[in-house]
Copies of this chain bind each other. A is one copy, B any other.
Amino acid sequence: MVRAGLSAAKVTEAAAEMADEVGLDQVTISALARRFGVKDASLYSHVKNLRELRVRIALLGGEEMTERIAAEVAGRAGRDALVAFANAYRRFALEHPGRYAATQMRFDPEEVADSVALRRSIELTYGMLRAYGLTEPDLTDAGRLLRAAFHGYIHLELSGGFAHPREVEDSWSRSLDALHVLLENWPSH
């Protein structure tokens, strides 16, 4: 008997790759087992169930994503930081749609409680916004709007919601200009 030599980490990595290729909801225990040349039941030694597998994809994706964003934003402020953040965010989501989709799942608080990436990504956003001179509660409001705009844009783009011929690239960078202007003129009170 030749063993595949699996582990929780290997299974998660392969699942993430599969999610990027065929979509998160096409990642099934049995399809993954097939990919490893192994029986379904074997995977349950490494992963509790399908739900947990997807959460693992999300945690992996979240880490990779914030790492890339952090690297791009490092040393920048204001418009430069905003553009770097946004482009790193979007590029990751487009290159890794499955991982990205996983990060958008609904989690129980305890599932992501010990996720460093989550906390770090919030810090990154707030740091960026503070450079615009914002303070609470504007910080929270602007942060939410920014996250919503980024996520909404990518979601619509990935789901084919932009049918109009105008290039999404152009639209995107013009939207970033607009958001920059918005943050500079955030209406306080």
Chain B residues in 8 Å Cβ range of A153:
144-145, 148, 152
Closest B residue, CB atoms, query A173: B141
Q: Are A152 and B160 in contact (CB under 8 A)?
A: no
Q: Is A164 an interface residue (CB 8 A)?
A: yes
CB contacts under 8 Å to B, within A18-34, are: none
Are B171 and A140 in contact (CB-based, < 8 A)?
A: yes
Copies in the complex: 2
* Segment at the interface with B among A8-16, A63-71, A176-184: A176-184
A179-B144 Cα distance, complex, nearest whole Å: 13
Whether A91 sits at the interface, judged by CB under 8 Å, is no
Chain A 95-113 residues near chain B, CB threshold 8 A: 104-107, 109
The reply to whether the CB of A149 lies closer than 8 angstroms to some CB of chain B is yes
List, sorted by A's number, 18 A–B pairs whose CB atoms are closer than 8 Å.
A104-B159, A106-B160, A107-B160, A137-B166, A141-B174, A144-B156, A144-B162, A145-B149, A147-B152, A147-B156, A148-B148, A148-B151, A150-B152, A152-B153, A152-B155, A155-B155, A174-B187, A181-B187
* Besides A106-B160, A107-B160, A151-B155, 16 other A-B contacts (C-beta < 8 A): A104-B155, A104-B159, A140-B166, A144-B156, A144-B162, A145-B179, A148-B149, A148-B152, A148-B155, A148-B175, A151-B156, A174-B187, A178-B187, A179-B182, A181-B185, A185-B185
